[in-house]
Structure 1
C-alpha cells in the first residue's frame, strides 16, 4: 500500500445534518489531508428517517450515493463523503442486534467511489411497547439513557401516531413525552425506541468512526498498475481445502481485487491467514 496524494488539501463536502463530522472529519483530515465542510442547507432526512416517516429511497449504498450526489449538486464541489447506517438482526447470529455502517467517498474528478464499512454488535438498538412511565424508565436504563437519546410515539406505525417525540435526553423530557403520548393513545399503550440518529447515539458514532478508518485503509490500497486509490476486493472465491480430507469447502480460499479505473485485477490467496479449513467446516468430514 502507498499513500495517495490525490486528496491532499482538497475540499470534501460531508453530507450530514446529524453532526457526523465530529468523528469523520478528524480522521479524514489527519489521514488524508482533506478539508471537510458540511453544507448548511442539506436535508439528509429526505433520504430516509429511522422513525419511518420518510422511507429510504434505495439500499444502504444507494442511499449514501444519493446523499453524496446531493451534497455535490448543492456546493459545486467535486468530492463528497456520505454515510448510512442500518440496524437489525446480525446476519449470522439472528438473535443479536447489529449496526452496519458504511462511509462512502465519491470523487467526480477521478470518476471513482470508495467505501469503508463496519459491522458492529455494539449497539443499543431496541424498541418496546409500554403503558407507564415506570416501564419507560426501565427501558431507558437498558438503553444507556441519558447519554443515548430515546424516541416516544403514541403508535409504532408512524402514519397512525398522533405524537412523535425525538431526541429525549433528560428525565423531564422523558416524563413529559410519556405523559403526552399516553394521553393521545387510543389503546393505553405507547411505543418507545432508541434514537439511532448519530448525534443522539455515542455508540453509533464509534461505529461510524470505525467505518471511516476502514475507508482510509481502502483508499490507501492503490492499484499496482495505475496507482488509483481504492484497489478493492470485488469477489471472494470459496474452496479452502479441508485439513483432513483435502476436499474443497465453502470457506474463502482467495479474494480478487480490481481497479475501478483501469480494471486490472489481482487474486490473493488465503486472505484470512488460513491455508486449510477445520474439518468441522467440511461437508464430507462433517456432513
Structure 2
C-alpha cells in the first residue's frame, strides 16, 4: 500500500539473490493506522508478522517480508522524538521468524496546532514540506466529526483543509501532523531501506549451532562495572547473540570496546 517495495526489493535482490513479489489486494490499514482510527493490536512485531501472514495467504508463497514502525517520544533520550522500525522475514518452510529493528534518532515527525496556514511556516520548513506530507484534522473535533485529511502535499490544499478543520473544531484550531506512512515520508522510507540492509546481513549469518539463517543480536546484558567502585552500572556490559530457531546463544563484548562505566551511571556512586 505504501510503496516500501521500492527500497526493500533491490536490497534483497542484490545482497541475497531473492526475487520478491508484492502481494496484491492487501489492506494493511486493517491492522492499525498511524492516525489512530484503526488501533494496532499487540506489539509492532505482532503487526509485522500479521502483515507477513497476509502476504503468504495472498500469494501462496512460503516466505514473506513485512515491516512496521512506531513513532513518538524517543525510547532512550528524554524530550526528543524517535521511532522504532522493525522488519521480519517469515519462513514457513523452515519454521522461523527472523527479526531486525533499528531506532530512528532523527525522524521527520512532529505536529502543530493552527487556525490558518500562515502561522506554521516555521513548522513546514522544519519538516521539509511538501516533500514530507501532512495529515490535518480538527484539534478538538465535535462529536461525530472525525474527518482526517491525509497525504496533504500542496500549500493550497493545506490552507483549505486547515480552514475546514478549524471551522469544525470546538476550539477553532486544526491539528497538523507529519504523515508517517512510508510513501508520504521519504525520511522514513530511507530508514526502512537501511533496515532492509540490516535484515539481509542477519539472514546471511548462519547459526553456529543449527546452521539456520538469522543469527544475530537478540538483546543486551547491563552491568558494565563502574570505574570508581566496580559495582554494576546501568550501561550495557555484553551483547546477547542468538538464533531464530534453536536455543544457541552467546555473550559478546560491547562493540565499542568500553570496559568500565563513568561513576555518573553507577547507582552506588550516584544514587
Q: Same fold (TM over 0.5)?
A: yes
- Match for residue 241 of structure 2? 257
1:204-247 deviation per Cα after TM superposition (whole angstroms, max 9, x unaligned): 11211122122122222321122111123334223322233333
In structure 1, the gaps of 5 or more residues are 1-16
- Match for residue 76 of structure 2? 92
CA distance in 1, matches of 2:224, 2:60: 48
1:175-202 deviation per Cα after TM superposition (whole angstroms, max 9, x unaligned): 2222332343343222111111111101
**Structure 1 residue 112 and structure 2 residue 96: aligned?**
yes
- Match for residue 188 of structure 1? 172
CA distance in 2, matches of 1:151, 1:115: 30
**Structure 1 residue 62 and structure 2 residue 46: aligned?**
yes
- Match for residue 74 of structure 1? 58
**Is the 1:51–1:158 contact (alpha carbons within 8 Å) kept by the matching residues of 2?**
no
**Structure 1 residue 223 and structure 2 residue 207: aligned?**
yes
Greater CA drift, 33-42 or 233-242 = 233-242
Tell me how far 1:251 sits from its aligned partner.
2.4
Task: Give 3-state SS (helix, strand or coil) of 1:28's partner.
Answer: helix
- Match for residue 22 of structure 1? 6
**Is the 1:79–1:108 contact (alpha carbons within 8 Å) kept by the matching residues of 2?**
yes
Question: What TM-score does the superposition give when structure 2 sets the normalisation length?
Answer: 0.91
**Is the 2:16–2:204 contact (alpha carbons within 8 Å) kept by the matching residues of 1?**
no
**Structure 1 residue 34 and structure 2 residue 18: aligned?**
yes
Tell me how far 1:41 sits from its aligned partner.
0.1
Change (3 A) 1:270 1:122: closer
CA distance in 2, matches of 1:185, 1:249: 50
CA RMSD of aligned residues (A): 2.1
- Match for residue 102 of structure 1? 86
**Number of residue-to-residue matches in the alignment:** 271
Task: Give 3-state SS (helix, strand or coil) of 2:20's partner.
Answer: strand
**Is the 2:63–2:89 contact (alpha carbons within 8 Å) kept by the matching residues of 1?**
yes
- Given candidates 184, 187, 199, the residue that maps to 1:203 is 187
In structure 2, the gaps of 5 or more residues are none
- Match for residue 134 of structure 2? 150
Tell me how far 1:32 sits from its aligned partner.
1.0
CA distance in 2, matches of 1:80, 1:158: 42
Question: What TM-score does the superposition give when structure 1 sets the normalisation length?
Answer: 0.86
